[in-house]
Amino acid sequence: DAAGDGAEAMDVQGGSGDEENARQLGEIELQCGICTKWFTADTFGIDTTYVMSLIFHCNVCHHSGNTYFLRKQANLKEMCLSALANLTWQSRTQDEHPKTMFSKDKDIIPFIDKYWECMTTRQRPGKMTWPNNIVKTMCKERDVFLVKEHPDPGSKDPEEDYPKFGLLDQDLANIGPAYDNQKQNNAVSTRGMAAGGSGKGRGAKRKQQDGGTTGTAKKTRSDPLFSAQRLPPHGYPLEHPFNKDGYRYILAEPDPHAPDPEKLELDCWAGKPIPGDLYRACLYERVLLALHDRAPQLKISDDRLTVVGEKGYSMVRASHGVRKGAWYFEISMDEMPPDTAARLGWSQPLGNLQAPLGYDKFSYSWRSKKGTKFHQSIGKHYSSGYGQGDVLGFYISLPEDTETAKSLPDTYKDKALIKFKSYLYFEEKDFVDKAEKSLKQAPGSQIIFFKNGVSQGVAFKDIFEGVYFPAISLYKGCTVSINFGPYFKYPPRDITYHPMSDMGWGAVVEHTLADVLYHVETEVDGRRSPPWEP
């Protein structure tokens, strides 16, 4: 094992071990950063499980045909996570009554001290100051660690066993090599961008950081460890730039399909903008309400399926949109006080978030009061109104032969990468006027609304061609919940459709194909992305 502040790298001929069909918890295994399969670690001198500070590519995936293995310098947060994961597993397999909380002095510190060389390439500090530092680390990172400072009243546990710490996420299968985020963190800490402003749209400005080598670069504070631990259960950064002021932001992650993705570890990008072709849009496999693609004043629930209005009309879009085919979702009117209102329906990405749905050419809506339908701020009678307790259905049918339908989604690889709160985002400028002039109708398209399972008839037909997202705009403090499927309270019986939930993995497939085609068609020697518009 290497010791010191540097990193250890090796190429091993052949494979790393026997391939497993699934991860074997408690076994010392390595996960390939490309194919994500698990392999037994029999040649790398690893003495404990759940070691995260490494990068591994199997000999099938690595371009050289050899196994690629890179050891990284772990920080205290990663070491604490690894220690608690191991202690949790040991307790589950050895104790009659498994524990989830472990003593700092009796459990955690002795474990880290015993396996220090296996957990990190960092030299042991000359002074025993690190035990106090791990307490500070775990107390600060409350979204990762559970902390219990004193025993419960009446407990027989001795006071000297405290403080105790545990993992917030008890699913040990989520804990493993954080290669993707380590690459991202290292890239942005040595050659990336720094965040500016308050995180509200234009406030996130591109800045260059001082360059440095991989082994000695200073880590940014509060670096994300890996998505399963740092993000909420329905994952998106808690602090993020909002889509506003003519700019939109797409969360980015390292692209495993980029040739030689391990070159992200090199220092050749020090002081330079990170090439966009090394990253891709980060997609979540579930369709939810978007946290960034909304008016900031709207309140979104933790499960990202309920929204509460605030003051004047403002809008939120879903995380996924559709460009062809027939799709359906439901909205339940949970609370609607007398002075509130809602306009619900479908919106393209350029629909104004600080206005009611149906305000511009990019959106179509159905209003709660009088059942009016809206498009381009023109209201027309459509049906009776709806209110608290109603369950509404939203159907859209888009033709398969339009230019939009035949296109793959944008890869964003020609856009600027900016860093905000330790995460990278593609920054895309909105050209609303240009987009409005290029709008054209999609013959045969239509939108139908349903109320408690009853069709209200065709609301709009031959709508503008584009990508449409489920959208909600609320006036004052009403509360609505959205159901993307696949199971609905009132599924339509006289039409065929896909539930919006199907778009989760569908978008992953489409974006992956678009990314791969980009790499095939674009010259990537030297990692030069096509220039973006300033």
Please state the domain extents for the chain.
24-178, 289-411+436-509
Model pLDDT, residue 55:
76
Find out whether 329 and 485 touch, Cβ atoms under 8 Å: yes
Looking at domain 24-178, its CATH architecture is Alpha-Beta Complex (3.90)
Angle (CA) 306 309 311, round 5°: 170
Pick one of 3.90.1530.30, 3.30.499.10, 2.60.120.920, 3.40.190.150 as the CATH number of 289-411+436-509: 2.60.120.920
Nearest alpha-carbon partner for 293 in 328, 265, 320:
320
How far apart (Å, rounded) are the C-alpha atoms in residues 124 and 242?
A: 42
Phi-psi region of 201 (alpha: psi -120 to 50; beta: other; left: phi over 0): left
Model pLDDT, residue 276:
81
Model pLDDT, residue 263:
54
How far apart (Å, rounded) are the C-alpha atoms in residues 108 and 110?
A: 6
pLDDT digit string (tens) for the chain, length 534 residues = 333 333 333 333 333 334 444 667 767 777 787 787 877 776 555 666 677 667 777 878 776 677 777 777 778 888 888 888 888 888 888 888 888 889 888 898 888 888 887 777 777 776 677 788 888 888 888 878 888 888 877 777 788 888 888 888 888 877 776 544 433 343 333 233 323 333 333 333 333 333 333 333 333 333 333 333 345 555 688 888 999 888 999 999 888 777 655 555 544 555 667 778 888 998 888 999 999 999 999 999 988 999 999 989 999 999 999 999 999 999 999 999 999 999 999 999 999 999 999 999 999 999 999 999 999 999 999 999 999 999 999 999 999 999 999 999 999 988 988 888 878 899 999 999 999 999 999 999 999 999 999 999 999 999 999 999 999 999 999 999 999 999 999 999 989 999 999 999 999 999 999 998 888 887 544 444 444 333
| Amino acid letter, residue 215 | G
Find out whether 109 and 103 touch, Cβ atoms under 8 Å: no
Nearest alpha-carbon partner for 203 in 529, 421, 431:
421
State pTM to two decimals.
Answer: 0.59
Residues 6 or more apart in contact with residue 499 via CB below 8 angstroms: 327, 328, 329, 484, 485, 486, 488
How far apart (Å, rounded) are the C-alpha atoms in residues 373 and 365?
A: 6
Q: Element (H or E) spanning 173, and its range?
A: none
